[in-house]
Chain A
Amino acid sequence: MSRPPDMLQGMLDLLILRVLGLEPMHGWALGQRIRQMSNDVLQVQQGSLYPALHKLEEQGWIAATWGESENRRRAKFYTLTSAGRTRLTLETAQWERLSTAIALVVRTTEI
């Protein structure tokens, strides 16, 4: 897997919250789904995915339950909590503001 751009690390929390907001899933499926939703551009490294998941769980934005995967294997499923949902809205707004600002600077053709 190619090294994703560095900015991804900072936005990883946002991505996880967004995807889990759609439906609960386990860590592996999460990585696959992010990759799929971004047309293979965003390829999350496991080295950052799992620590990020655990951190979000620790903070209470997502909750984990143990269930069965598709092939009857015990797996840890994450869901978005109500507090997490609020957090997602906040982070999304922040992201939009930030990316708009960056786009403005990058696209300006005159000083």
Chain B
Amino acid sequence: MRLHRRVQLRVRRLMAPQRSELDLQDELAFHLEQQERLYREQGMPPADARAAARRDFGAEAGIAEACRDTAGTRVWFDLLRDVRFGWRAALRAPGTTGAAVPTLGIGLGAATAMYSVVDGVLLRPLPFPAAERVIRADQYVAAGALAVIADGATTMVQVGMLQPNLDVNLGGDTHPERVRGTAVSDGLLPLLGVRSALGRTIAPADMDAAAPPVVVVSHALWTRRFGARADAIGRTLRVDGVTREIVGVLPSGSLLPLPEADVWLPAVTRGLPPAALWGSSYSVLLARLRPGVTVAAATADLRRLAPLVRDSYPWRMPDEFGAEIAAVPLHESVVGDVRARLVLLGLAVGLLLLSACANVAMLVLSRALTREREFAVRAAIGASRRRLIQQLLTETLVLWGSGGLLSLLLAWLGLDLLRTWLPADIPRLQDLTLDWRAVATGLTATLATGLLFGLLPAWRMSRPDLAPFMKANDGGVATTAGRQLLIRALVVAQLASAVVLVTGSVLLSRSLWNLRQVPPGFDAAGVLTASLTPDRSVCAEPAQCATFYDSVIARASVLPQVAAVGLSHLVPLDGTPGFFAIDVQDHPMAPGAPAFTAVRHVTTPGYFDALDVGTSRGRGLTDSDASSADPVVVVNESFARRFWPGQDPVGKRLRYVWQPTWRTIIGVVHDVRHDGLALPAPLEFYVPYGQEQPREMTLFIRSTAPWTTVAADVRRLVASINPDVPVSKVRPMQALVEGSLAGSASLLSLLTTFGGVVLLLGAIGTYGVLASSVSSRRRELGIRLALGASPRSVSRLVFRDATKLCAVSLLIGAPLA
């Protein structure tokens, strides 16, 4: 009942504040009248009675104020009034407001956008049930190992395997397409809680090589090729020359952490020759942990199984094979390498925000200093310190609130910018939106920084020194040393963070430039690449593709303006090449020790001409090597240096570990930085096409014609040789070089922009500090001038002030950077 009454009272007061005010005044007036009447009845004359009554009553204003203070709604009305005052004060100082609001908007907006990114990429759990119970083995496993692990693991309840990033040909009615595929075991999709939208997913029976070929398609492919019709189940699709029956369709939307693939094939774990099951298929192993099992236990389990797996191989594997295998939580493996970059970026944004807040706080303080007189008067007529703080804080919060609203808009725009700016390999980037969590965080940050940075000036201002103002002439001075120090500290903080950012971007740009100067080992200018992927419908055996490739080279060589044409199995700077285990003459390995590995290229002689990779010893490959009976190879300089430093490697031999045939080295070529410009060239050997015949090769054409023309010519000529061969990844080599630098380049541009903005803010801040310090020292400077100091010495005085500020910030900032 009491609560009800209290609430009623408050509501009434909120609804009709003027009524409550009038009532209060009426009540007090009534008291006065009664007292006056009493005195009159006692015989006092009316005027005296009124005066006496007044005197008895005391300070009416004070009493009324005390009554108002008891009201619970007082705080609310005070706040409203302060906000209104704050708004008006902000409008009255357009310079300060105009500088502060955008500054805050940028700072808070950047912080909110960055939080969105960090939240979406790092913090948010993966979108499938019990995501934290899924682990991934940090090493690839062979297809044959799946059964061993699945049967033997005690800590894992579901085990699955996938081979992502298979590019396959989609044959068909129209032109052939090259699409992304993934091979999965039967347990993988259920492990991740993915169910088919139509039909079924992979079954255990599908994983046998002898089983009827099936395929599960993605939702996008189903819509695109089959018009999203239910009768697509049972239809066939030709994948890499094999006609497969469509048995299911996956649901739409992102299936993270699974890769974006159009076709889903069964991973074959039975019925293939050992070389296929154990040698050339490398898959990712995923597993769901049993309830209550830790990741460390899973690691121990995998390591316990490693010798079993090793012994299941059809050939001798190194003794410590798999001893280092570990289980990693899936989320970690998806975002792990990105974390460092995002944290760095987050720090940069944090510095920007700090800088912006410091800047605005300093602007507010400078502005408030000019109103010191007003505050002194307020304090003199009875405003408590708390009240003064509240007022100034609310004014500051009005500024901050406007900045905060602006920041939401800027964050929304900024997120778009970030999405294009950040390297595309950051996972989950496309899913980022400015959702309510980011908005809530943004508003909280606004309030928190506003309170924190607003309290500083408010607290400072609430203790005004009354004496200077009560004098008739106020010298226009009254900034105490303490206040100056605070402002200077803020500016120094700002400049220091600017120094950190700018130094960081200078260092990064230098490393980026160094990277650009690194010779990649080939000349990319004027070279076009195109990936050719003939499948079984073109040549049943890889050896039969030779005629196809010979035709391609023959026809491409006669295109106008073409200087050289070559084929290669691998493309520099495009993905990590596979390493082959080899035996090297003169370097015997003990059985059980890990073998030497090197990158194997299969190329035609034209490849070296097309990319302008020179030979330094011996000879290069020739056309006759293709059909020659002597197995030959060419190695790169790193290889020669590694195994025969200072000697001539021509005539030495190497071989694959699983074949007895030795191959003779006939020449040495220059290094090609295959893995990226930052890494040194790996050990490489080149086998002539003809002695090895991979099915898929990339065409390299050096031509002076514009690359779009060349590209069109290539497509036409391939289609004329065989219309079933897709031509994909047609792009100039230069694009690959640029692409490999892209990650660092975008980070650099981000850092530079940040640094620039913070430096600008610092400059504004320094200007503001100096301006206010000069205007408050106007009197002192005027006296100096009057006493004979030259204008130059006065300006030098001011300048020295500025330099001191900068020096301190450099001192602080440089070591931090």
Contacts and interface: CB of A to CB of B under 8 A. Distances in A.
Contacts of B9: 57-58, 60
A76 B23 contact: yes
A60 B2 contact: yes
Interface of B: 1-3, 5-6, 9, 23, 26-28, 30-31, 33-35, 37, 56-59, 62-63, 66-67, 69-72
Contact of B26 (A51, A54, A63, A74): A74
Interface stretch (A13-21, A42-50, A89-97, A102-110): A42-50
Given A47-B62, A47-B63, A74-B26, A59 B69 contact: no
B31 A47 contact: no
Contacts of B62: 47
Given A69-B30, A73-B33, A76-B23, A50 B58 contact: no
25 contacts: A27-B31, A28-B30, A28-B34, A29-B34, A47-B58, A47-B59, A50-B27, A50-B63, A50-B67, A51-B63, A51-B66, A54-B67, A55-B70, A58-B72, A59-B6, A60-B2, A60-B6, A63-B5, A66-B23, A73-B33, A74-B30, A75-B30, A76-B27, A81-B5, A82-B1
B62 to A, nearest CB: 7
Binding site of B, secondary structure by majority: helix, strand, loop or mixed?
helix
Nearest to B33: A73
A108 to B, nearest CB: 39
A4 to B, nearest CB: 14
A25 B27 CA distance: 13
Contacts of A69: 30, 34
A54 B26 CA distance: 14
A33 interface: no
Contact of B69 (A51, A66, A71, A75): A51
B30 A54 contact: no
A47 B2 CA distance: 26
Nearest to A43: B56
A83 interface: yes
A27 B35 CA distance: 11
A83 B34 CA distance: 30
Nearest to A82: B1
B58 A45 contact: yes
B2 A83 contact: yes
Contacts, number: 72
Contact of B1 (A26, A58, A83): A83
B35 A28 contact: yes
Interface residues of A, number: 28
A1 interface: yes
B3 A60 contact: yes
A1 B2 CA distance: 36
B650 to A, nearest CB: 102
B30 A76 contact: yes
Interface string A21-41: 000001111000000000000
A66 B69 CA distance: 21
Contacts of B30: 26-28, 69, 73-76
Contacts of A75: 27, 30
A66 B565 CA distance: 104
Given A60-B3, A81-B2, A83-B2, A51 B67 contact: yes
- The 6 residue pairs across chains A and B that have the minimum distance between CB atoms: A60-B2, A51-B66, A28-B34, A83-B2, A55-B70, A54-B70
Contact of A47 (B3, B27, B66, B72): B66
Contacts of A73: 30, 33
A76 B62 CA distance: 20
Contacts of A83: 1-2
A82 B6 CA distance: 14
